[in-house]
Structure 1
Amino acid sequence: MLTFYCAGRRLHLQTTGQDELVMLQQRSGATELFGALTLGEIGHDSNWGYPVFHNGAIVCCPWS
């Protein structure tokens, strides 16, 4: 599963961040997790809305 994990989340959770990724893999049924440590995600809550920075997110996508 392609996974983007926020660096701020990792800093906040410290050593339990790894436990969170293990739990994500187990509960999702993914055979592997791969991706990147990111600085956050940019998105918005309305169509053509002003971009907002979302910190502390995990974004995943099935990958085969």
Structure 2
Amino acid sequence: MKDMQEHLEKLRVQIVECEMIRDLATDPKKRDLFARLAEHHKVLAAEVERAISTQSPPSAADETRLKQS
């Protein structure tokens, strides 16, 4: 679950970066490319969020086992 949260945060950062580059780009092709990349990352982030929300929280035994490894 922690890995998925970390990946979600990375996707959110990439969305912001793509939108920033899109807004600063003077070339229309680059502006379009980074707009599409931002939208694609938004779709990926939504999928990760959905996967996180459908996972059951780890039990106390699972957490203990993870800490020991």
Same fold (TM over 0.5): no
Q: Which has the higher strand share?
A: 1
Work out which of the two has the higher radius of gyration on C-alpha atoms and give 1 or 2.
2
**Relative CO higher for 1 or 2, CA cutoff 8 Å, sep ≥ 6?**
1
What TM-score do you get using the length of structure 1 for normalisation?
0.29
What TM-score do you get using the length of structure 2 for normalisation?
0.27
Q: Which has the higher helix share?
A: 2
